[in-house]
Protein backbone atom coordinates (compact mmCIF):
# COMPACT_ATOMS: atom_id res chain seq x y z
CA UNK A 1 0.00 0.00 0.00
CA UNK A 2 1.10 3.53 -0.68
CA UNK A 3 1.70 6.01 2.11
CA UNK A 4 2.18 9.78 1.95
CA UNK A 5 3.92 11.69 4.75
CA UNK A 6 3.85 15.42 5.38
CA UNK A 7 6.12 16.15 8.31
CA UNK A 8 5.26 19.85 8.72
CA UNK A 9 1.88 20.25 10.44
CA UNK A 10 2.05 24.06 10.28
CA UNK A 11 4.10 26.67 8.50
CA UNK A 12 4.06 30.43 8.31
CA UNK A 13 5.43 32.77 5.65
CA UNK A 14 5.34 36.49 5.11
CA UNK A 15 3.62 37.95 2.12
CA UNK A 16 5.85 38.06 -1.00
CA UNK A 17 8.29 35.55 0.49
CA UNK A 18 8.95 31.98 -0.67
CA UNK A 19 8.00 28.86 1.23
CA UNK A 20 8.59 25.15 0.62
CA UNK A 21 6.28 22.41 1.84
CA UNK A 22 7.68 18.90 2.17
CA UNK A 23 6.19 15.57 1.17
CA UNK A 24 7.60 12.06 1.04
CA UNK A 25 5.87 8.93 -0.13
CA UNK A 26 6.39 5.22 -0.18
CA UNK A 27 5.49 3.01 -3.12
CA UNK A 28 6.78 0.04 -5.07
CA UNK A 29 5.23 1.37 -8.26
CA UNK A 30 7.39 2.81 -11.01
CA UNK A 31 4.67 4.80 -12.75
CA UNK A 32 2.39 7.03 -10.73
CA UNK A 33 1.09 10.57 -10.35
CA UNK A 34 1.69 13.06 -7.56
CA UNK A 35 -0.46 16.03 -6.68
CA UNK A 36 -0.62 19.02 -4.40
CA UNK A 37 -4.11 20.11 -3.38
CA UNK A 38 -5.10 23.27 -1.54
CA UNK A 39 -8.02 23.33 0.89
CA UNK A 40 -8.95 26.85 2.07
CA UNK A 41 -11.36 27.44 4.95
CA UNK A 42 -14.20 27.16 2.44
CA UNK A 43 -13.31 23.40 2.42
CA UNK A 44 -13.25 23.10 -1.36
CA UNK A 45 -10.27 20.98 -2.40
CA UNK A 46 -8.48 22.62 -5.33
CA UNK A 47 -5.75 21.07 -7.48
CA UNK A 48 -2.59 23.18 -7.36
CA UNK A 49 -0.15 21.12 -9.40
CA UNK A 50 0.46 17.59 -10.66
CA UNK A 51 3.53 15.60 -11.62
CA UNK A 52 3.76 12.43 -13.66
CA UNK A 53 6.51 10.19 -12.30
CA UNK A 54 7.81 9.32 -15.76
CA UNK A 55 8.55 12.98 -16.46
CA UNK A 56 11.95 14.14 -15.22
CA UNK A 57 11.08 17.81 -15.61
CA UNK A 58 9.60 19.39 -12.52
CA UNK A 59 6.08 20.75 -12.97
CA UNK A 60 5.38 24.47 -12.62
CA UNK A 61 2.14 26.44 -12.48
CA UNK A 62 2.69 30.18 -12.21
CA UNK A 63 3.98 30.82 -8.65
CA UNK A 64 3.86 27.12 -7.76
CA UNK A 65 6.59 24.63 -8.59
CA UNK A 66 7.65 21.23 -7.36
CA UNK A 67 10.94 19.53 -6.65
CA UNK A 68 10.39 15.90 -7.60
CA UNK A 69 13.12 13.52 -6.49
CA UNK A 70 11.98 10.07 -7.62
CA UNK A 71 14.84 8.09 -6.12
CA UNK A 72 14.38 9.77 -2.77
CA UNK A 73 10.57 9.56 -3.08
CA UNK A 74 10.30 13.23 -2.29
CA UNK A 75 7.84 15.74 -3.74
CA UNK A 76 8.08 19.25 -2.28
CA UNK A 77 6.00 22.28 -3.23
CA UNK A 78 7.54 25.73 -3.54
CA UNK A 79 5.28 28.77 -3.41
CA UNK A 80 6.94 31.94 -4.63
CA UNK A 81 5.73 35.48 -3.95
CA UNK A 82 3.30 34.22 -1.32
CA UNK A 83 -0.09 35.93 -1.20
CA UNK A 84 -2.67 36.17 1.57
CA UNK A 85 -4.98 34.03 -0.56
CA UNK A 86 -2.48 31.17 -0.34
CA UNK A 87 -3.48 30.66 3.31
CA UNK A 88 -4.93 27.14 3.41
CA UNK A 89 -4.29 23.49 4.20
CA UNK A 90 -2.05 21.89 1.60
CA UNK A 91 -2.27 18.18 0.93
CA UNK A 92 0.17 16.03 -0.98
CA UNK A 93 -1.45 13.09 -2.76
CA UNK A 94 -0.45 9.98 -4.71
CA UNK A 95 -2.28 8.08 -7.41
CA UNK A 96 -1.41 4.86 -9.20
CA UNK A 97 -2.13 4.76 -12.90
CA UNK A 98 -5.64 3.47 -13.32
CA UNK A 99 -8.46 3.64 -15.72
CA UNK A 100 -11.28 1.73 -17.32
CA UNK A 101 -8.91 -0.78 -18.92
CA UNK A 102 -7.12 -1.63 -15.68
CA UNK A 103 -10.33 -2.14 -13.80
CA UNK A 104 -8.88 -0.45 -10.77
CA UNK A 105 -9.92 2.74 -9.07
CA UNK A 106 -8.04 5.96 -9.72
CA UNK A 107 -8.02 6.82 -6.04
CA UNK A 108 -6.02 9.54 -4.36
CA UNK A 109 -3.97 8.71 -1.25
CA UNK A 110 -3.48 11.87 0.79
CA UNK A 111 -1.01 12.96 3.43
CA UNK A 112 -2.12 14.56 6.69
CA UNK A 113 -1.65 18.08 5.36
CA UNK A 114 0.33 21.21 6.17
CA UNK A 115 -1.46 24.29 7.40
CA UNK A 116 0.08 27.34 5.74
CA UNK A 117 -0.48 30.81 7.12
CA UNK A 118 0.57 33.80 5.01
CA UNK A 119 1.07 36.93 7.12
CA UNK A 120 1.50 40.61 6.32
CA UNK B 1 -20.75 25.78 -15.74
CA UNK B 2 -21.63 24.57 -12.27
CA UNK B 3 -19.00 22.68 -10.36
CA UNK B 4 -19.54 19.60 -8.27
CA UNK B 5 -22.46 20.11 -5.92
CA UNK B 6 -23.20 18.25 -2.71
CA UNK B 7 -26.18 18.20 -0.42
CA UNK B 8 -26.82 18.81 2.34
CA UNK B 9 -24.10 21.18 3.48
CA UNK B 10 -24.38 20.21 7.10
CA UNK B 11 -26.12 17.35 8.83
CA UNK B 12 -26.55 16.28 12.44
CA UNK B 13 -27.56 12.70 13.18
CA UNK B 14 -27.83 10.45 16.22
CA UNK B 15 -25.90 7.23 16.73
CA UNK B 16 -27.62 4.28 15.07
CA UNK B 17 -29.40 6.37 12.48
CA UNK B 18 -28.98 6.20 8.73
CA UNK B 19 -27.80 9.01 6.44
CA UNK B 20 -27.82 9.66 2.68
CA UNK B 21 -25.45 12.16 1.12
CA UNK B 22 -25.87 13.35 -2.45
CA UNK B 23 -23.48 14.48 -5.15
CA UNK B 24 -24.01 15.94 -8.60
CA UNK B 25 -20.91 15.82 -10.81
CA UNK B 26 -19.85 18.42 -13.31
CA UNK B 27 -21.93 18.12 -16.46
CA UNK B 28 -20.43 15.49 -18.74
CA UNK B 29 -18.35 13.84 -16.02
CA UNK B 30 -18.96 10.12 -15.73
CA UNK B 31 -16.82 9.19 -12.74
CA UNK B 32 -17.60 10.01 -9.12
CA UNK B 33 -15.46 9.32 -6.06
CA UNK B 34 -16.27 9.66 -2.38
CA UNK B 35 -13.77 10.55 0.36
CA UNK B 36 -14.06 10.87 4.13
CA UNK B 37 -12.05 13.60 5.84
CA UNK B 38 -11.88 13.36 9.61
CA UNK B 39 -10.87 16.56 11.37
CA UNK B 40 -7.11 17.06 11.25
CA UNK B 41 -6.48 14.36 8.68
CA UNK B 42 -6.29 14.02 4.93
CA UNK B 43 -9.22 12.61 2.96
CA UNK B 44 -9.59 8.83 2.85
CA UNK B 45 -10.96 7.07 -0.24
CA UNK B 46 -14.33 5.38 0.21
CA UNK B 47 -15.74 4.55 -3.23
CA UNK B 48 -15.32 5.23 -6.93
CA UNK B 49 -18.00 4.79 -9.55
CA UNK B 50 -17.65 4.99 -13.30
CA UNK B 51 -20.47 4.56 -15.76
CA UNK B 52 -22.71 3.46 -12.89
CA UNK B 53 -20.42 0.61 -11.85
CA UNK B 54 -18.34 0.41 -8.68
CA UNK B 55 -14.67 0.57 -9.66
CA UNK B 56 -13.11 0.63 -6.24
CA UNK B 57 -13.79 0.52 -2.53
CA UNK B 58 -11.59 1.73 0.29
CA UNK B 59 -11.12 0.17 3.70
CA UNK B 60 -14.56 1.01 5.08
CA UNK B 61 -17.13 -1.29 6.71
CA UNK B 62 -20.19 -2.60 4.92
CA UNK B 63 -22.26 0.06 6.67
CA UNK B 64 -21.02 2.32 3.89
CA UNK B 65 -22.61 1.89 0.46
CA UNK B 66 -23.03 4.01 -2.62
CA UNK B 67 -24.56 4.04 -6.04
CA UNK B 68 -24.46 6.07 -9.22
CA UNK B 69 -27.55 6.93 -11.20
CA UNK B 70 -28.08 7.10 -14.99
CA UNK B 71 -27.53 10.87 -14.87
CA UNK B 72 -24.16 10.17 -13.14
CA UNK B 73 -25.19 11.71 -9.84
CA UNK B 74 -24.34 9.64 -6.81
CA UNK B 75 -25.49 8.83 -3.29
CA UNK B 76 -23.43 7.73 -0.33
CA UNK B 77 -25.34 5.85 2.34
CA UNK B 78 -24.13 5.13 5.86
CA UNK B 79 -26.12 2.83 8.15
CA UNK B 80 -25.95 2.42 11.92
CA UNK B 81 -24.02 5.64 12.42
CA UNK B 82 -21.18 5.72 14.93
CA UNK B 83 -19.60 8.73 16.60
CA UNK B 84 -16.49 8.04 14.53
CA UNK B 85 -18.41 8.64 11.32
CA UNK B 86 -18.40 12.35 12.11
CA UNK B 87 -16.41 13.89 9.27
CA UNK B 88 -16.45 15.98 6.13
CA UNK B 89 -17.58 13.84 3.20
CA UNK B 90 -16.15 14.95 -0.10
CA UNK B 91 -17.35 14.03 -3.56
CA UNK B 92 -15.11 14.37 -6.59
CA UNK B 93 -15.96 13.98 -10.25
CA UNK B 94 -13.81 13.45 -13.30
CA UNK B 95 -14.56 13.24 -16.99
CA UNK B 96 -13.37 9.68 -17.24
CA UNK B 97 -11.97 7.29 -14.67
CA UNK B 98 -8.20 7.44 -14.78
CA UNK B 99 -5.15 9.14 -13.38
CA UNK B 100 -4.84 11.42 -16.43
CA UNK B 101 -8.12 13.08 -15.57
CA UNK B 102 -8.31 15.70 -12.84
CA UNK B 103 -10.68 15.03 -9.98
CA UNK B 104 -12.77 18.09 -9.19
CA UNK B 105 -13.99 18.26 -5.62
CA UNK B 106 -17.25 19.53 -4.24
CA UNK B 107 -17.54 21.63 -1.06
CA UNK B 108 -18.37 18.60 1.05
CA UNK B 109 -21.06 17.62 3.53
CA UNK B 110 -20.21 18.07 7.19
CA UNK B 111 -21.74 15.16 9.14
CA UNK B 112 -21.92 15.32 12.90
CA UNK B 113 -23.01 12.20 14.80
CA UNK B 114 -24.10 12.74 18.41
Q: How far is CA B90 from CA A34, B44, B77, in A?
A: 19, 9, 13
> What is the Cα–Cα distance from B49 to B55, expressed in whole angstroms?
5
Q: Is B21 on the interface with A (CB under 8 A)?
A: no
Residue B90 · residue B43 · CB < 8 Å: yes
B41, B97, B107: residue with CB nearest A106: B97
Which residue intervals of chain B are DSSP H helices? none
pLDDT, tens digit only, all 120 positions of chain A? 789 999 999 999 999 999 999 999 999 988 899 999 999 988 889 999 999 999 989 999 999 999 999 999 999 999 999 999 999 999 999 998 776 666 667 889 999 999 999 999
Taking only the tens place, the pLDDT of each residue in B50-87 is 889 998 999 999 999 999 999 999 999 999 999 999 99
Q: Please name the residue of chain B whose CA is at the shortest distance from the CA of residue A35.
A: B102
Are the beta carbons of B107 and A96 separated by less than 8 Å?
no
Amino acid sequence: AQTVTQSQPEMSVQEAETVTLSCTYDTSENNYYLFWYKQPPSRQMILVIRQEAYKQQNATENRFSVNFQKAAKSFSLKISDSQLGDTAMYFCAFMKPAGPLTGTASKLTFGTGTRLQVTL
Amino acid sequence: DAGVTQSPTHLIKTRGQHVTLRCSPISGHKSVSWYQQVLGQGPQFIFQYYEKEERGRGNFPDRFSARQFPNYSSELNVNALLLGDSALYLCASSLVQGARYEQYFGPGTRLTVT
